[in-house]
Structure 1
């Protein structure tokens, strides 16, 4: 059975709770999965998830090879680093929590790059806690990109990655990810748009078994209205699309950003390439975060995650919904061929 590592996420958030709920609610789906994290934090999360019922027992393993001995109806856990003496407070930015979350991702990424696990699913981490722990990355995507580049022995720019958010109704891929809006506008270059199209085409072709129909959103209102509202569509985006078509990609646009997502949702396109974070993610999240899955494209490993954050406001209450994590596990298994 192919193994999938689920990273704990920030233990001050809902990550440990939704992991326990996923193992409880989807026992068949979570076969072959294990958690990379901390025993005390996962125990606390399992107790929060269970409420008044007995929580699922946690089986501590020392290596991926020991997973075969774990009995059913348990949550297998591989302890990453030294065990914490006590879990951090719920719902608070905490340096130790950020470091634990990052270490779990680093361990899982290394295991995936070595071929020990078939995929990784990352529970939410908190960007402020990650920064407090001294990690120079704004999120999972950038951290995984750096690890993959180091493993391959190449410069970071030679390991380009893109974020795709997907649910049953819509897929969108972003040209830029976690940067300020001003920087996102500067990132709309011929090279970045063209590279996004290449990565999207390769990834979706592997998922769909055919070349995807790619729609491209413009940057400006009405896709620039022929240059009246900006010339990026004429001078940058359209030339990148023309170059992609010459290479055989099935790309269309640039289209008005306020209507292209509706067209894709109706089935006219398989995916929309958006120019920046909120332009692409708001339409998908509006359809419901409980079914959304974040997939990192361009990595030499499979990585998915739920479409939401740490939800500090409800952490520890037992109210967190595990649906998006369940879908992320399902997607990881499909992409890993298991």
Structure 2
């Protein structure tokens, strides 16, 4: 049976059940014949009340209320009335259950809404966490970039330091080379000084002998040498003056082919090819000098200026002093200083 139908039937039963006087029911009971036994379906149908007041008879059996209803109206036995009351209470309970069932979906909906709200909050928190993660990733990338920039700067600084070290090493090597060359020059100068002293000692003993062997034709005075050289200007760079040069005897060795002893030749070899040379301009060249290679290197290293007369004398000490006086002069290129055969 449907719940709505049962509720309607319960309301009709409750409205039609009006009490009836007990005396009338007894009189009718006595007059009426005993009713036949009813099946359960008929009994259920007989329990449907008829509109009107309900009368509960105390002494009726099952089915008597049906016969009484057929004659007099709403007359029910005690059992039927109790059954009706039970049905009414059941109907009320069902109505309450239905109302509770109607309320239960609302609670579920609230729970669903609460869950949805919780899910939204979780999504919001997740989005915040994702944003934080992205921010951390960006900060890590920035740190990596800064580290890479710092590494590049450090590499650049290291390269600069390496370049500076290389430059310093090159400068040190140049300084060491200069020191070595300076020491070598000092050694060579010492050797030259020693050689000059030896030649002085040798030439002092051989000067007189050579003059006697060569005779007066090989020796010339300072005046003859001055006439052959011709007029020249004064010496520069504090060199010897013309008058001093004229006073000093200059010995010219003629190319006569006369062979001299080693004692007469001295330490530098044969002096027969030594001639008086004059540098008039940078284009002219020193010729006829048969001097050692060290002297040639010194002549090439220290330039001789124009207008300077260089007299090669028999005394190498005097010649060396004269050469020292004109060493600081400039004007002749290295390529122009040559030595004849």
What TM-score results when the alignment is normalised by the length of structure 1? 0.18
Which structure's CA Rg is the greater one? Answer: 2
More helix by share: 2
Higher RCO (CA 8 Å, separation ≥ 6 residues): 1
More strand by share: 1
